[in-house]
Amino acid sequence: MKVVKFGGSSLSSGEQLEKVLKIVLSDSARKIVVVSAPGKRYSDDIKVTDLLISLAQCHLTGENADELFQTVVERYKGIAEELQLSDQIIETIKEDLENLLKADKSRPDRFIDAIKASGEDNNAKLIAAYFQHQGVDAQYVNPKDAGLFVSDEPGHAQVLPESYEQLYKLRERDGILIFPGFFGYTKGGDVLTFSRSGSDITGSILANGIKADLYENFTDVDAVYSVNPNIVENPREIKELTYREMRELSYAGFSVFHDEALIPAFRAGIPVNIKNTNNPSAPGTRVVNERENSNGPVIGIASDKGFCSIYISKYLMNREIGFGRKLLEILEDYGLSYEHIPSGIDDVTLILRQGQIDSETEKQILSQIKHDLNADEVRVEHNLSLIMVVGEGMRHNVGTTARAAKALADTGVNIEMINQGSSEVSMMFGIKEVDETRAVQALYHEFFVPVTV
Amino acid sequence: MKVVKFGGSSLSSGEQLEKVLKIVLSDSARKIVVVSAPGKRYSDDIKVTDLLISLAQCHLTGENADELFQTVVERYKGIAEELQLSDQIIETIKEDLENLLKADKSRPDRFIDAIKASGEDNNAKLIAAYFQHQGVDAQYVNPKDAGLFVSDEPGHAQVLPESYEQLYKLRERDGILIFPGFFGYTKGGDVLTFSRSGSDITGSILANGIKADLYENFTDVDAVYSVNPNIVENPREIKELTYREMRELSYAGFSVFHDEALIPAFRAGIPVNIKNTNNPSAPGTRVVNERENSNGPVIGIASDKGFCSIYISKYLMNREIGFGRKLLEILEDYGLSYEHIPSGIDDVTLILRQGQIDSETEKQILSQIKHDLNADEVRVEHNLSLIMVVGEGMRHNVGTTARAAKALADTGVNIEMINQGSSEVSMMFGIKEVDETRAVQALYHEFFVPVTV
């Protein structure tokens, strides 16, 4: 039994849904189909989820949103008409959306979450109608009905462990089950969404729930690439990688897969296959528990920009037990997360995403650090990039660090920071943003094939 | 005007003191002579300071310590007799020690500090007596009289800033001033010592106080070596290094110079020259504010063993703002300091000196981390060594990291951890203790001359 998930771009039009139907029918093991909301039809298009967020916000502020409402309905309508479905499904969707917009607005985050989630929910209903229209035994399944319960955390709810036992019973239902991604229900009956791109998470949860043999994630690329195709043309595709490698790569900028999504599948040991809706016969990328280390120590290189470093020095800092803790407390007071905190004898550096802080807040933080911790010097450097070199077995492959460092040196990139020693499957370099492209190309060249520039 | 400090080995016998006198007299700028307690006469000998600590402890517990007392007095007596001084100085020393041992015992740490400090104090009196005996215009100076006041922290007192103004007046005194190292007085009149080997600190404070042209630190090696001579035979001597480089090297295991000692001299921009009492014409090693980067990026390699790493992983750790802070709070509760804390996405590693924790405490800490922080996995690895590769300008010398990593890789040493990015003059590697010698030799070979094994 397989769980198959389709992303927005795979569901953006009637033409795409025809491909989806073909794919689902071509393998009788494909039991549960998890769907996102309709995605972009062309690059300047707006995702339905974004339209719904705007719609919800307009209703909260009391602005007129009739046009926005129509636009949303039109998106479904366009697809339905392309597939020659009856008006019934559009009426159902329209009514559902109207009811949601009339609902209680006293808790705005829940109001918004329910409307966001309707994108997936109504698309699942539409797709079930389409499958039925084509004579396929298919049913829309509501997450509450299936038992997908989540924690009470609007915007980033977590699945509750007891859901899995309930979800297992989906195996007993007949036919193909069309399941909306992205949301679940609290015990109190509220709709809450997972983090953005949470349909990946839904698929993972269902795969674990029904103890699937495979979780297939259909998107719009042939595979996960070893490096960002915007930096290196035609990069090598990754045939197989482990969960840990996928998570490290996702974290640092790969956007194929939402990085938390894998965990439920990982915990149940269910392999994942990333495939292309537009090229379903391509093998795609498999994500597994363990793999053979046959292709060298490095599986992929990810990078992300927009970091800053705050350098703090204080005479005899290393004698002051509690200094590090007090520093982190200041960060916590501002609600900030940090990537890494290289420590010296009399100095320490914080590496953070600079987007968390506007320039006014930055002044306050620097001032507070200097004052509360009695630092001798506090200075900030902006516009750093972090590069993650990822691969199982890198840790025991003596020489990978040297090769990476040499590749960077040879291309004239200065290494501002190295973070190695916690993760067993990755090594992190901090460099100036302006050097990022050159650095990633040099690393790719070192560990994969010559760069095609 | 110069401040000259002599360490214990330079003052262990009459023969040594004769060399000291010659050195002081050979340069009329040598105004203040800072002295330690008499050191070891041969390798199995016991330092006078250690004898005094035992003596003090015996008196606190009420044990008979007559023999120990005699042994201490004998050390001074032996030197005095060698130099044919009259008995007067030994009587003075004996009486002083007797008075100290009879003093108030209600605050044991101060009782011990005063007796520890008497090692230096009485040696200064003895040396002044010797110089006078040789017809030199020389005076013993008491720190209280000179205005060397310290903070009220037994065992690791800090000089109070207002002392410097007072100490400047020493310039006006005639003749050579013999000043005992290692201690000062609290405002309340208690004798308190600096950290161990604190005579280096006294010299540094006096050099700053009198705004000396040079602070000469006489010890028993020709120079600071670029690497531990126990690991590499005949290592290259360092001719000149900066204060920052010295501090980084001292921290990680070089024992030539007490690492905090330099700061007062550093703050006043006073250069330091490390020389050998037994070979005073050798140029020694100069420690300066800035130096020319003429000899390559690396000035020295220090290493230390006895570290452990605690690896902690938790699903979605990076989402949990405050996790790092809570972890450091646990360390703080146990009074532990850490060297470095490499951070991953879902994991973090603490690098600590394992000597801080006995195995029972270790169990408690691991358990508390697992429990309080709800970690998925907590495990410890012992017997790691840290290697510091040090050098100004290393940061801007693209390629140094690569060379270091390659040297380690080529000799088959796996890098467990890299800490680079805070200090601007050093790079830290974590490796297994068993690899330390091979690793340091390889790094020396890479950055200096071929290893003579």
Residue B326 carries which side chain, given as an amino acid letter?
K
Contact between B336 and A325 using a beta-carbon 8 Å cutoff: no
- Among A158, A244, A408, A423, most B C-beta atoms within 10 A, so best to mutate, is A423
Assign residue B147 a region: left if phi > 0, alpha if psi is -120 to 50, beta otherwise? Answer: left
Does B348 touch chain A if contact means CB atoms closer than 8 Å?
Answer: yes
Does A366 touch chain B if contact means CB atoms closer than 8 Å?
Answer: no
3-state secondary structure of A419: strand
Convert the pLDDT of each residue in A252-267 to its tens digit. 666 566 667 888 998 8
Instruction: Map A384-399 to HEC letters.
Output: EEEEEEECCCCCCCCC
* Contacts (Cβ under 8 Å, ≥6 apart) of A94: A73
Give the C-alpha separation, A231 to B50, whole Å: 64
In this structure, are residues A285 and A273 in contact, taking their beta carbons and an 8 Å threshold?
yes
For A82, other C-beta atoms within 10 Å of its C-beta total 15
Q: What is the CA radius of gyration of chain B?
A: 24
**What crossing angle do the helices spanning A66-82 and A48-61 adopt, rounded to 10°?**
150
**Which residues from B are below 8 Å from A247, CB to CB?**
345-346
CA distance from start to end of chain A: 43
* Contacts (Cβ under 8 Å, ≥6 apart) of A92: A122, A125
Does A25 touch chain B if contact means CB atoms closer than 8 Å?
Answer: no
CA-based nearest residue to B446, from B376, B396, B395, B391 = B391
Give the C-alpha separation, B265 to B211, whole Å: 9
Six-digit token string for A206: 């269902």
Contact between A401 and B413 using a beta-carbon 8 Å cutoff: no
User: Between residues 263 and 292 of chain B, which touch chain A (CB distance below 8 Å)?
Assistant: 263
CA–centroid distance for A58 within its chain: 27
Does B151 touch chain A if contact means CB atoms closer than 8 Å?
Answer: no
**Which residues from A are below 8 Å from B396, CB to CB?**
414
What letter does residue A294 receive in the DSSP assignment? Answer: -
Does B401 touch chain A if contact means CB atoms closer than 8 Å?
Answer: yes
Residue B338 carries which side chain, given as an amino acid letter?
Y
**Which residues from B are below 8 Å from A249, CB to CB?**
none
- By CA distance, what is A350's nearest residue in B? B422
Convert the pLDDT of each residue in A38-66 to its tens digit. 999 988 899 899 999 999 999 999 888 99
Does B253 touch chain A if contact means CB atoms closer than 8 Å?
Answer: no
Give the C-alpha separation, B224 to B240, whole Å: 9
What confidence score (pLDDT) does residue B250 get?
A: 79
Does A409 touch chain B if contact means CB atoms closer than 8 Å?
Answer: yes
CA-based nearest residue to B305, from B387, B222, B237 = B387
- DSSP codes of every residue in A12-55: SSHHHHHHHHHHHHT-TTEEEEEE-----SSTT---HHHHHHHH
Mean pLDDT of A303-317: 90
Give the C-alpha separation, B202 to B193, whole Å: 10
Six-digit token string for A415: 């290494």
CA–centroid distance for B111 within its chain: 23
Does A341 touch chain B if contact means CB atoms closer than 8 Å?
Answer: yes
Bridge partner residues of B138 (DSSP): B176
Pairing verdict, β B347-353 and B176-180: unpaired
Q: Which pLDDT band, with edges at 50, 70 and 90, does A423 fall under?
A: confident
**Which residues from B are below 8 Å from A418, CB to CB?**
401, 418-421
Convert the pLDDT of each residue in A89-99 to its tens digit. 999 999 999 99
Does A330 touch chain B if contact means CB atoms closer than 8 Å?
Answer: no
Exposed e or buried b per residue across B148-168, where buried means at least 16 C-beta atoms within 10 angstroms of its C-beta: bbbeeebebbbbbeebbeebe
In this structure, are residues B339 and B386 in contact, taking their beta carbons and an 8 Å threshold?
yes
- By CA distance, what is B330's nearest residue in A? A325
**Phi, then psi, of B302 in degrees rounded to 5:** -115, 155
In this structure, are residues B388 and B249 in contact, taking their beta carbons and an 8 Å threshold?
yes
Contact between B423 and A347 using a beta-carbon 8 Å cutoff: yes
What letter does residue A258 receive in the DSSP assignment? Answer: -
Instruction: Please provide the average confidence, as pLDDT, over all residues in chain A.
Output: 91
Domain boundaries, chain A: 2-288, 300-448
What confidence score (pLDDT) does residue B451 get?
A: 46
**Which residues from A are below 8 Å from B332, CB to CB?**
321-322, 325
Residue A318 carries which side chain, given as an amino acid letter?
N
Give B422→chain A minimum CA distance, Å. Answer: 5
For B260, other C-beta atoms within 10 Å of its C-beta total 22
Task: Give the helix ranges, DSSP H, for A103-211.
Answer: 108-133, 143-146, 163-168, 199-209
Q: What is the pLDDT along chain B (453 residues), one digit of tens a residue?
A: 999 999 999 999 999 999 999 999 999 999 999 999 999 998 889 989 999 999 999 999 988 899 999 999 999 999 999 999 999 999 999 999 999 999 999 999 999 999 999 999 999 999 999 999 999 999 999 999 999 999 998 867 889 999 999 999 999 999 999 999 999 999 999 999 987 668 899 999 999 999 999 999 998 888 888 998 889 998 999 999 988 888 888 776 665 666 678 889 988 999 999 999 999 999 999 999 888 877 678 999 999 999 999 999 887 787 788 899 999 999 999 999 888 888 888 889 999 999 999 999 999 999 999 999 999 899 999 999 999 999 987 777 778 889 999 999 999 998 988 888 777 788 999 999 999 999 999 999 999 975 455
Q: Nearest by CB to B399, from A337, A396, A409: name it.
A: A409
Residue A36 has pLDDT above 70, yes or no: yes
Give B396→chain A minimum CA distance, Å. Answer: 7
Six-digit token string for A160: 């509750």
> Residue for token digits 């006895």?
B306
Percent of chain A having pLDDT more than 70?
96
What confidence score (pLDDT) does residue B248 get?
A: 83
For A266, other C-beta atoms within 10 Å of its C-beta total 22
Task: Give the helix ranges, DSSP H, for B134-193.
Answer: 143-146, 163-168
Q: Nearest by CB to A342, from B309, B344, B421: name it.
A: B421
Give the C-alpha separation, B185 to B183, whole Å: 7
Q: Residues of B marked as binding? A: 5-8, 49, 120, 219-220, 225
In this structure, are residues A344 and B422 in contact, taking their beta carbons and an 8 Å threshold?
yes
In this structure, are residues A19 and A280 in contact, taking their beta carbons and an 8 Å threshold?
yes
What confidence score (pLDDT) does residue A259 get?
A: 65
Pairing verdict, β A347-353 and A2-6: unpaired
In this structure, are residues A3 and A212 in contact, taking their beta carbons and an 8 Å threshold?
yes
Between chain A and chain B, the number of residue pairs with CB atoms below 8 A apart is 161
Six-digit token string for B295: 């000899």
Six-digit token string for A165: 């036992």
Domain covering A300-448 in this structure, CATH number: 3.30.2130.10
In this structure, are residues B179 and B33 in contact, taking their beta carbons and an 8 Å threshold?
yes
Instruction: Map A310-343 to HEC letters.
Output: EEEECCCHHHCCCHHHHHHHHHHHCCCCEEECCE
Least confidently predicted of A290-294, A425-429, B128-132, B313-317: A290-294
Give the C-alpha separation, B91 to B313, whole Å: 65
Q: Nearest by CB to B409, from A339, A399, A410: name it.
A: A399
Six-digit token string for B126: 């003895």
Least confidently predicted of A145-154, A169-178, A341-350: A341-350
Strands (E), A391-432: 417-420, 426-432
Cα dist from B289 to B81, B207, B244, B391, whole Å: 43, 15, 8, 13
CA distance from start to end of chain B: 43
**Which residues from A are below 8 Å from B410, CB to CB?**
399
- Up-side HSE of residue A351: CA atoms within 13 Å toward CB? 30
Give the C-alpha separation, B52 to A196, whole Å: 69
Q: What angle do CA A133, A137, A141 make, to 5 degrees?
A: 95
* Contacts (Cβ under 8 Å, ≥6 apart) of B64: B58
Give the C-alpha separation, B259 to B248, whole Å: 8
What confidence score (pLDDT) does residue B320 get?
A: 84
- By CA distance, what is A319's nearest residue in B? B337
Contact between A409 and B421 using a beta-carbon 8 Å cutoff: no
CA-based nearest residue to A336, from A356, A316, A354 = A356
Convert the pLDDT of each residue in A378-405 to its tens digit. 999 999 999 999 998 777 777 888 999 9
Q: Nearest by CB to B345, from A247, A395, A399: name it.
A: A247
Residue A451 has pLDDT above 50, yes or no: no
Does B260 touch chain A if contact means CB atoms closer than 8 Å?
Answer: yes
What confidence score (pLDDT) does residue B423 get?
A: 77
CA-based nearest residue to B17, from B277, B223, B269 = B277
Contact between A328 and B331 using a beta-carbon 8 Å cutoff: no
In this structure, are residues A72 and A51 in contact, taking their beta carbons and an 8 Å threshold?
yes
Give the C-alpha separation, A121 to A140, whole Å: 9
**Which residues from A are below 8 Å from B414, CB to CB?**
395-396, 398
How long, in residues, is chain A?
453
Q: What angle do CA A267, A273, A279 make, to 5 degrees?
A: 165
Does A161 touch chain B if contact means CB atoms closer than 8 Å?
Answer: no
User: Between residues 296 and 315 of chain B, which touch chain A (CB distance below 8 Å)?
Assistant: 309, 311, 315
User: Between residues 174 and 203 of chain A, which touch chain B (CB distance below 8 Å)?
Assistant: none
Handedness of CA B390, B394, B400, B405 (dihedral sign): positive
Q: Which helix (H) or strand (E) holds B364?
A: helix B359-372
> Residue for token digits 């000899």?
B295
CA-based nearest residue to A265, from A195, A217, A215 = A215
Contact between B421 and A408 using a beta-carbon 8 Å cutoff: no
Handedness of CA B109, B110, B115, B117 (dihedral sign): positive
CA-based nearest residue to B453, from B290, B216, B234 = B234
Six-digit token string for B141: 């100076």
Contact between B349 and A421 using a beta-carbon 8 Å cutoff: yes
What confidence score (pLDDT) does residue B252 get?
A: 66
In this structure, are residues B190 and B116 in contact, taking their beta carbons and an 8 Å threshold?
no
- B2-288 has CATH 3.40.1160.10 classification: yes
ipTM: 0.74
How long, in residues, is chain B?
453
